[in-house]
Amino acid sequence: MKIIGINASPKGKESKTLELLESVLRGSESMGAETECLDLYQYTIQYCTACGTCYAKGECTLFDDFPELLEKMLDADGIVLGSPNYINSVSAPMKAMFDRMADAIHCQMFRKKFGCSVCTAGGSREDDVVAYMNDVLETLGATVVGGVGVAIGRDPSKMEPAKAQAYDLGKKLVQSIRGEIKYPEQDAARANRLDYFRQLVIDNKDRFAHEYDWYVRMGWIKE
């Protein structure tokens, strides 16, 4: 079992978000998972230009580190996202990564994967950022097992209880991947989402040639 954490804080080893993310990974390791932590600020991710080439050909016209990052995510069973709260949203590299994943969303490439998110904030809205990252995971087709957000600007002592919660979240992530915890509501929503994108791809068969071929290959469209 492989679980990767993606940290979108610019503070490197001094990052409180990293502390929270690593707590999740340690919890997963305690259950036997192999983990890897990635610093998103060490990757070059250009902005999506909305050219649609990924829909048509399964390729991107931009040359940077995104394909390597996506491959790591596709090879993982579990994905942990971490970002500080930057004006009630994720930091810029995390958003740039999300924007490059439109093809993965259309193709529901994260089906059968599990994920969770963590966020640190100075004052507030940390739970909103966690919810946003988890919503992206669900939109990609993954099952979300929870999240941890903590605001530590006025009370740094909140960090330790949050790290304990994150550790437990890492254990829950492994249990979920093993099938020990079920998510029937998300299963139903994921089936509806697949139906939606399947119809979208069928309706745009000529423009979305790569995605149509993907759906045929996956057995989601019968010819």
Nearest to 150 by CA among 37, 44, 23, 57: 23
Query: Which pLDDT score is estimated for 154?
Result: 86
Residue 103 phi/psi, 5° resolution? -65, -40
Mean per-residue pLDDT, 102-127: 97
Torsion-angle region of residue 97: left (phi > 0), alpha (psi -120 to 50) or beta?
A: alpha
Contact partners, residue 53, CB within 8 Å, separation at least 6: 59, 60, 61
DSSP of 99-148, one letter per residue?
HTTHHHHHTTTTTT-EEEEEEEESSS-HHHHHHHHHHHHHHTTPEEEEEE
pLDDT tens digits, 9-39: 999 999 999 999 999 999 999 999 999 999 9
